Structure 1
Amino acid sequence: MTAASLLALLSAGGALAQDSSDPVRLTLHDWTGQLITTQLMGSVLQKAGLTVEYVQADYLAQFAGLETGDLHIAMEIWETTGREAMDAATATGNVVNLGPTGMQAKEEWWYPAYMVEQCPGLPDWEALKEAACAEAFATAETAPKGRYLGGPVTWGGFDEERIEALDLPFEVIHAGTDAALFAELESAIQREAPVLLWVYAPHWAPAKFEGDWVAFPEYTAECYTDPAWGINPDAAYDCGKPFGDIWKVVWSGLAEKWPKAAAAVEAFSIDNDEMGAMITEVDLNGASVESVVAGWMEQNEARWSGWID
């Protein structure tokens, strides 16, 4: 089923159908913003009278469960890292893209401003090819290569492939969790220690700290699929990550079994500023995801109630 046919089903009277009493399963991952987005959606569905179940799932591997109908809703598929897996899943006809969340994704290599003194060519990616620059980012674990702190392996991102394609004297070390990634960033900045790492937006870090993203060759779809494209004629991934939307995807049977849920997911929209403020409350101010979600629900009743009317 395509997104168009799913929405046609809703507009043709699906909203009059009886929603199943079975639980709607929403996937949870390992970063704060996604936990907030998903529990916002879950809270809205509960207000609509539906039973909700949250299922911890790997970001990319979750598509297998969405295709079989064991999982039903994934609220954050990032253009930057999830596009290929999403397109493969929707091509089966068993998964439907219900459109953008309203948030714009940016994920890329990021460095604090004080590192420009040691690597003066930044943000141009070619500065990273200089031995002195790589050494400035090196650790005992990676020397003489520079250290790039990537996200958890489950996030994808093709950073190892990017390093090879662009012939960068760097080694990827993956953070175990989202929390560990940003704990290391905070520690490094407090000490003005060298650090080059995966930073994404919407998030509090690029707003709180002075720094910049590395400017790699601009992404195109051909960069990831055609080795002949780009500056390295023998390798794909010789460019930066894509930027763009964060998507909502669902099992294709959602609209028939839970028409209220499909309509609400399709209507859901939130922007980077709203999400960034909520992530800040959790990650920096110590609030729980549940309390932040409850606060948003209380302050935005007129808005979310329109998603389920």
Structure 2
Amino acid sequence: MVRSRLLSKVGSGVVALAAASFLAPLAFAQAPESNDPIKIALFDWTSVNLNAKIYGGILEKLGYTVEYPTADYLSSLTTGLTTGDLTIGMEFWATTAGEAMAASDATKETENLGPLGPKAKEEWWFPEYMKAKCPGLPNWEALKAPACAEAFSTAETAPKGRYLGGPVTWEGFDDERVVSLGLPFTVIHAGTDAAMFAELDSAYQREAPIMLWVYSPHWAPAKYKGEWVEFPEYTKECYTDPKWGSNPDAKYDCGKPHGDIFKYSWAGMKEKWPVAYKIAKAYTIETEVLNKMSGEIDLDGKAPEDVAAEWIAANEATWKAWAE
């Protein structure tokens, strides 16, 4: 970074600070390069929208026009971002968007801007108190026992267990996984991310049965004591070759993949808004910080814009360095 190089080369701290102050405005002299709006996609979970508001807030500080259209998570990779109707999306999880990212890459109309920072994990999750009712957990094979399935059942699914999946736009292949592994469970999809975790909170307080999709980074694995189900380890072949795994006639007989979270942009962003593009490429955030801020929104009721503004104010040196 320019500032760090100056500090290492100039002996006087006073001179170094003066030089840094003089050069700082020059880094942003060409921004905004266009008054057309930079369209940052919003999806249906908290952390991605928080990252969108932080990034957008930084751009607004630099004079850019920013819009926040709500988009479909997976199809945005192969529609909105390819056409430029969307400029950037801040979170695409390799755990669920791997196929869509590959399809997007093939168009040559989008650009993978690199990892956000946190590592993604998404899987079936249960509260610790359910282990007494389903001996053998977290091994997935415990779920095949009728008594265990019934322990996770509700009035709408009994005697089958109930698995609360994410919104259908997240995909995740849970319906296919239940069939492939012969699990006596019914998959129910939550309407929204907020509804899913509100149901977890209600069940947890009552020690009621619940099995659901929990992901990290997120505040839930820190707030609630529980474990992820241990399915057969994911491999690419599990999702593409029916002969792989315990069921020779079906795909998805394994757990979900783990991996990075990536930022994606419309390919034309680099040329049209080079400073904004540079900031997006450099933008990273720590898992613990993201979890804490997401909790402030979901648990403490803060507005995403307010949490984003606090981060921007506290980290001005960081985001200014991203453009240098």
Q: TM-score range by the shorter chain?
A: over 0.9
**Consecutive unaligned residues in structure 1, runs of 5 or more:** 1-14
1:186 matched to 2:201: yes
Q: How many Å separate the matches in 2 of 1:221 and 1:268?
A: 29
Q: Is the 8 A contact 1:112 1:189 kept in 2?
A: yes
- 1:57 Cα offset (Å): 0.5
**Consecutive unaligned residues in structure 2, runs of 5 or more:** 1-28
Amino acid across the alignment from 2:230 = A
| Aligned-partner SS, 1:19 | coil
1:295 matched to 2:304: no
- 1:18 Cα offset (Å): 7.1
Q: Is the 8 A contact 1:103 1:202 kept in 2?
A: yes
Larger gyration radius, structure 1 or structure 2: 2
Q: 1:150 to 1:297 in 2, by over 3 A?
A: same
CA RMSD of aligned residues (A): 1.3
Which position in structure 1 is the counterpart of 2:18? none
Q: Is the 8 A contact 1:48 1:260 kept in 2?
A: no
Q: How many Å separate the matches in 1 of 2:36 and 2:322?
A: 21
1:91 matched to 2:106: yes
Which position in structure 1 is the counterpart of 2:164? 149
Q: How many Å separate the matches in 2 of 1:162 and 1:264?
A: 39
Q: 1:29 to 1:17 in 2, by over 3 A?
A: closer
1:133 matched to 2:144: no
TM-score (normalised: structure 1)? 0.93
- 1:92 Cα offset (Å): 0.7
Q: How many Å separate the matches in 1 of 2:63 and 2:268?
A: 19
Q: Is the 8 A contact 2:87 2:265 kept in 1?
A: yes
Which position in structure 1 is the counterpart of 2:44? 30
Q: How many percent of aligned residue pairs carry the same amino acid?
A: 61
Q: Deviations over 1:234-259 (max 9, x none)?
A: 11111111111110000111101111
| Aligned-partner SS, 2:68 | strand
- 1:17 Cα offset (Å): 9.1
Q: Is the 8 A contact 1:26 1:38 kept in 2?
A: yes
**Deviation above 4 Å: which 4+ runs of structure 1?**
15-18
TM-score (normalised: structure 2)? 0.89
Q: Deviations over 1:152-209 (max 9, x none)?
A: 1111111001111111110100111111100000000110000000111111111011
Q: Deviations over 1:258-291 (max 9, x none)?
A: 1112111100010110100101111111111111
1:51 matched to 2:32: no
- Of the structure 1 ranges 236-245 and 18-27, higher mean CA displacement relative to structure 2 is found in 18-27
1:72 matched to 2:87: yes
1:19 matched to 2:33: yes
Q: Deviations over 1:85-120 (max 9, x none)?
A: 011011110111010000111111000000000101
Which position in structure 2 is the counterpart of 1:253? 268
Q: Is the 8 A contact 2:164 2:196 kept in 1?
A: yes
Q: Is the 8 A contact 1:108 1:200 kept in 2?
A: yes
Q: How many Å separate the matches in 2 of 1:173 and 1:146?
A: 10
